[in-house]
A and B are shown apart, each in its own frame.
Chain A
Amino acid sequence: MRRHERGLFALALAVILLTGCRIKGPGQIGQVSLAKAEKTEFMMDTLITITAYGPKAEEAVNAAMAEMRRIADLMDANDPKSEVSRINENAGRRPVRVSEETFELLKLARRYSELSGGAFDVTVRPLVVLWGIGKKDKYVPDSAAIERARELVDWRDLVLDEEAKTAYLRRAGMGVDLGGAAKGYAADRARDVLLRYGVRSALIDAGGNIWAVGRRPDGRPWRIGIKNPRPEHGGELLAVMPSEDLTLVTSGDYERYFIKNGVRYHHIFDPRTGRPASQAISATIIGKNSAEADILSTAVFVLGPDQGLALIRKLSSFEAVLVTPEEQIVATGNLEDELEIVREEGGTGDTGR
């Protein structure tokens, strides 16, 4: 051992003996994490955000976003070039051949129109146009106009030809509107794309339609908040749902609305009355299929606590949380153990039923 090495040896010994001293240091060295990719785009009248974790996260998110864009372009009733617009233009004239995707979703929407007894109606377009909520300023149509529009809403007049893959509305002036289904359907398709890219952990937020894919990168379930429809009573969130491979879709009267003469007019219509539905102020559906959950959230919102939850129980593959106009939270029984109610007291709510 040469002399300088002897010094080094002594130094090492000293350092070891002195490390009884406290070590204090802030900061956290990066967790062993997967590649993360996140992208936000505006489509279908709303902001879509996809967050994915995985070795090919970036490609996966881009492909999923492109798929959503493609679906949106097919089904946007406000875009004159979309397939849905072409069906509506040709109402009462002739059947229109549509893509596999549009046909599939129309079929699903028609089936649920029937199941919900018309509380959800795929041909609600005339009412949407008449009220123009979010487009026209605080406009309440007169009863005669509402009655005329309501007359044109009837899912039985949507004829779907399985062989020819055509859609046909029997009467002129009718119109299909997939606004209550397309976001969910697009989210389902985006999820499929992510899974094909090997993504096992992702969050798709399609304007409040959430697909919680897999678990969080830290291995715990995603935590999805359910918005409190009246945040002035009890805070932003109603409840939190720990979610693993679940989609959550909410319909609320707070999304697009105006208040005139003390009455809140919102964008979810009861096709049977032609007016904004009033049996609920928020309905959340939890399940494994976002297109169906999207449709069902509208149906349950319109049907209200009794009939709405009865419909969900009958279907058995979905759960529902609903807020009544009295701000009571009601949920299907299976949810009670999992849902964490976070609405602060002072609200009038309690769970159960």
Chain B
Amino acid sequence: MTRVDKLILLAVLGLALGSFAVAGLRRGAEVSPAQAQVVVEVDGRVVDKFPLADLKPGERRQVRGPLGYSVIIGGDNKVRMESSPCPDKVCVARGWISLPGEAIVCMPNHIVVHIVGPASEKSYDAVTQ
């Protein structure tokens, strides 16, 4: 390894740690899981949205993507991908998510399951009155 190689390693490390810091800052205020909403998107379209608390432990919901049905399952105020027809199962390996901003992404089946807090839950941008 040359000196420049080491500099590159350090720079990438710094960049990674820096972006962790940014992610941490952007996380913002804690939202209690009870108020969090689960948003399910396929190809960027919201196909389902429900309060996290409504998904009881063990309760399943099917999401249809181009490869077939992926199944999400509820836990104690958390949700994970139980099964998916995708080849790599990255989404299943992701495990539970429970906090606003967390996401499960299944790229092969074009599915994103993510959690939003009540603040971003607002369903409109402006009101005519």
Binding site for B on A (CB under 8 A): 5, 22-30, 203, 205, 208-210, 212, 216, 222-227, 236-237, 240, 248-250, 252, 254-255, 284, 342
Contacts and interface: CB of A to CB of B under 8 A. Distances in A.
Contact of A29 (B1, B19, B100, B125): B19
Given A210-B128, A222-B125, A250-B129, A27 B95 contact: no
A209 B128 contact: yes
B93 interface: yes
Nearest to A226: B128
Given A24-B95, A26-B102, A225 B124 contact: yes
Contacts of A237: 124, 127
Interface stretch (B23-31, B55-63, B66-74): B23-31
Contact of B101 (A5, A26, A240, A254): A26
B126 interface: yes
Contacts of B102: 25-26
A224 B95 CA distance: 36
12 contacts: A5-B1, A25-B20, A25-B102, A26-B23, A26-B100, A203-B125, A223-B124, A225-B124, A225-B127, A226-B127, A227-B127, A250-B128
A26 B117 CA distance: 13
Nearest to B25: A27
B27 A208 contact: no
B113 interface: no
B40 interface: no
Contacts of A28: 23, 26-27, 101, 103
A83 B69 CA distance: 66
B52 interface: no
A168 to B, nearest CB: 35
Most buried by A among B99, B100, B102, B127: B127
A26 B27 contact: yes
A125 B48 CA distance: 51
A249 B128 CA distance: 6
B93 A22 contact: yes
B126 A205 contact: yes
Nearest to A250: B128
Nearest to A249: B128
B125 A223 contact: yes
A252 B129 contact: yes
Contacts of B129: 208, 227, 250, 252, 254-255
Nearest to B116: A28
A224 B99 contact: no
A22 B97 CA distance: 12
Nearest 9 interchain pairs by C-beta: A27-B23, A208-B129, A225-B124, A227-B129, A27-B27, A248-B128, A225-B127, A28-B101, A250-B128
B22 A30 contact: yes
Nearest to A247: B128
Contact of B24 (A27, A249, A254, A342): A27
A5 B127 CA distance: 62
A224 B128 CA distance: 7
Nearest to A20: B93
Contacts of B101: 26-28
Most buried by A among B103, B123, B128: B128
Nearest to A254: B129
B18 to A, nearest CB: 11
B77 to A, nearest CB: 14
B126 A222 contact: yes
Nearest to A216: B125
A240 B19 CA distance: 37
Contacts of A212: 125-126
Interface in B74-129: 93-95, 99-103, 123-129
A210 B126 contact: yes
B125 A30 contact: no
Given A28-B27, A240-B123, 11 more contacts: A22-B95, A25-B102, A27-B24, A28-B23, A30-B26, A210-B128, A225-B128, A227-B129, A237-B127, A284-B128, A342-B123
